[in-house]
Amino acid sequence: MFLRIASIAVAIGAGTAQAANEPEFALTLHDHKFMPTEIRVPANVKVRLVVDNQDATPEEFDSHALNREKVIPGKAKATIYIGPLAPGRYPFMGEFNAATAQGAVVAQALPSRLKARIPPPGGAAMRRSRERGGIMQARR
């Protein structure tokens, strides 16, 4: 029983470590407009998009292409995870102000020399687990 609880705790810790490895991109909403209007992200990599709504009113980040919808209260920030995305252009909008709040995420393939800088999925805890034969073991 103790080993089962310990292995669950280790697995949860590994998920937290993995979340810290994702590249982060900032997006600001001001005067019902997204800035920048286009964000370039690496293709085939899960990324974290942090949206800062500087307006006093809420806005809904909406993208059918990214399969994401999130209401962001006024004067608040929200984190939206996207990807891994195939190379291409993925439009998004602010649904409450669709005429002005428009933008796109552009996923681009990375040159070979930059791919080595992106950490592998799973973080250090998962790498250690793979080194031990694929089973995460609790420390005694």
pLDDT tens figures, 115-139: 556 555 555 555 555 555 555 444 4
Q: What's the pLDDT score for residue 120?
A: 55
State the architecture of 21-111 in CATH terms.
Sandwich (2.60)
In the predicted structure, residue 10 carries a pLDDT above the cut 80: no
Q: For residue 100, is pLDDT > 60? A: yes
pLDDT by residue (tens digit) across 72-95?
Answer: 999 999 999 999 999 999 999 999
Question: Average per-residue pLDDT in the chain?
Answer: 81
Angle between helical axes of 2-19 and 123-131 (0-180°, round to 10): 130
CA distance between the termini of the chain: 14
- Domain boundaries of the chain, sorted by first residue: 21-111
pLDDT(3) > 90: no
| Pairing status of strand 88-94 against strand 33-35 | unpaired
- Number of separate helices (H) and strands (E) present in the chain: 3, 9
Query: Could you tell me the pTM of the whole model?
Result: 0.68
Q: 93 has which bridge partners?
A: 62, 102
